[in-house]
């Protein structure tokens, strides 16, 4: 049997997220500083007679492996666009290490991993622009997850400005194991026309610079999410008090909360504090993936 082809699907974290406009189509224009943590789902593939998908891992039980799964949809979209590019069927295995419906990319990251995997197995060159266009049709977060490096996302998430320099920081992620639907959070959003992100310092190379800039930003989805799941607010407050925490805030539409730290030691110490306080929560510490 051939060795499996592996793609990682790193956790996406919105360090700042401003909702700037409600569009006529019902969607919202956003501006978000997006980073990725060295924590990931894993997607493996080996040649097979036909495409199959098996899901395992700590959070695999929360996902169906049917046609609505974003990995399936990504593979199907790729095969429809380039029917002869990957000549064999694939036995796909998704190892779900990250919580589901948690505001950290999840299915979008898995879909992006599937597109990268298919492009990597292709017998023809696949233009990145074509892959990005396909990603945007699969979901608003998929284009950013295709990059999986620090960037500013605008529009509904499809207009990306990668950041060639970014400080090496560390994250603690805490999820209370309460799924939170993005649509429910947006329905409770009071203000739909908020200020855009301030201009980023250039070059942005030091954690202190990032912390000062983030102090002038928000996650506009955090207040409505806290009303739906009040413990999010409690986690933010507790994480903010841990030693060395530059910022504690909710990621995306929740319910995962992140703490931003300048060193690995501070992050791991804070993770221990949060595990002791919330033994039933998912807690992880990891460095950012930086250029």
* Residues designated catalytic: 12, 141
Total residue count of the chain as it appears in this document: 291
Residue of 50, 102, 96, 46 lying closest to 71 (CA atoms):
96
DSSP the chain: -PPPEEEEEEEEEEEEEEEEEE-TTS-EEEEEEEEEEEEEEEEEEEEESS-EEEEESTTGGG---STTSHHHHHHHHHHHHSTTTS-SEEEEEEE--S-SSSSS-THHHHHHHHHHHHHHH-SS---HHHHHHHHHHH-TTHHHHHH-SSEEEEETTTEEEE-S-----EEEEEE-S----HHHHHHT-S-SS---PPPPPSS---HHHHHHHHTT--BTTHHHHHHHSTHHHHHHHHHHTSTTEEEEEE-TTSS-EEEEESSHHHHHHHHHHHHHH-TTSEEEEEEB---
Residue of 188, 178, 272 lying closest to 231 (CA atoms):
178
């Amino acid at each position: 049997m051939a060795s499996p082809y592996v793609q990682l699907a790193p956790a996406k974290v919105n360090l700042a997220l401003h909702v700037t406009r409600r569009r006529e189509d019902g969607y919202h224009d956003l501006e978000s500083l997006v980073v990725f943590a060295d924590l990931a789902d894993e997607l493996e593939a080996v040649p097979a007679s036909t495409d199959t998908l098996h899901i395992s891992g700590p959070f695999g039980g929360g996902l169906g492996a049917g046609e609505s799964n974003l990995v399936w949809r990504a593979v199907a979209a790729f095969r429809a666009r380039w029917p002869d590019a990957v000549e064999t069927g694939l036995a796909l295995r998704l190892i779900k290490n990250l919580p589901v419906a948690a505001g950290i990319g999840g299915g979008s990251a898995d879909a992006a991993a599937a597109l990268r995997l298919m492009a990597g197995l292709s017998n023809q060159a696949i233009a990145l622009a074509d892959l990005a266009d396909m990603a945007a049709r699969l979901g608003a977060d998929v284009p950013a997850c295709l990059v999986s490096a620090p960037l500013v996302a605008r529009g509904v998430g499809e207009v990306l400005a990668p950041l060639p320099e970014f400080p090496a920081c560390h994250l603690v992620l805490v999820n209370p194991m309460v799924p939170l639907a993005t649509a429910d959070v947006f329905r409770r959003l009071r203000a739909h026309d908020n200020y855009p992100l301030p201009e980023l310092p250039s070059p942005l190379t030091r954690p202190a610079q990032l912390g000062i800039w983030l102090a002038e930003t928000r996650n506009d989805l955090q207040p409505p999410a806290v009303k739906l799941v009040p413990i999010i607010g409690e986690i933010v407050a507790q994480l903010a008090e841990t030693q060395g925490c530059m910022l504690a805030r909710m990621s995306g539409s929740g319910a995962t909360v992140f703490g931003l730290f300048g060193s690995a030691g501070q992050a791991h110490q804070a993770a221990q504090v949060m595990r002791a306080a919330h033994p039933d929560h998912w807690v992880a510490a990891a460095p950012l993936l930086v250029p």
